[in-house]
Amino acid sequence: AGTMALTVMVNLHDAPVLPNTLNVFTSDNSNLWQASATSINQGSFQVTIPAYGVVTVIADGVSTTGTESVAKESEPFFSNHPNPFVDQTRLQFRIVKQERVSLWMEDESGRRVSVLQDDVLTSPGLYEVLFTPGDLPSGIYYGVLRYGVQQFRQKLVLVR
């Protein structure tokens, strides 16, 4: 799959973020996060991530998080952020042609706890669905995306 270089502009309340207040983490979508070295130049930095990876930026020690998902526009992908999450998480996926799309949440035993999407999407592009867990207890859940004959799973951690 390779890697991609990503340039990120970081601002908090319309002011550039200082290097010593910035934490950057990257993941290859397997939920194995690692800290990434950064070098800020006039409010931007560059980070190299896997082609289907995610970079999360936490600035100034507050809950200011920006996430950028990168994948080839000609290929489908599935990710979520934030992860772990408390009240809600955004599930993002890309489709490249008209196809039936099903998106649901499962608990660790494989039981469906929520169906978020189940219909034919006619326009290729990036889609985003907000998942609010309601009364679900803390634990490990899986977002499952079925796109045509392909299926993607994303591990999510709900923290109460």
CA distance 63 to 84: 13
65 and 83 fall within a common domain: no
108 vs 92: CA distance, rounded Å: 21
Tokens of 109: 């035993």
Q: Are residues 39 and 58 in the same domain?
A: yes
Question: Does 92 lie in the same domain as 132?
Answer: yes
Query: Structurally, how many domains does the chain consist of?
Result: 2
Residue 151 token pair: 């299926």
Domain boundaries, position 24: 3-69
99 touches 120 (CB < 8 A): yes
Residues of the chain under the 70 pLDDT cut: 1-76
Nearest to 33 by CA among 43, 22, 23: 23
The conformation of residue 17, written as its DSSP 8-state character, comes to P
Q: Are residues 54 and 33 in the same domain?
A: yes
Peptide bond into 82 cis (omega under 30): yes
pLDDT score of 28: 53
The pLDDT value given to residue 39: 53
Q: Are 35 and 49 in contact (CB under 8 A)?
A: no
In this prediction, residue 74 carries a pLDDT of 54
The pLDDT value given to residue 94: 85
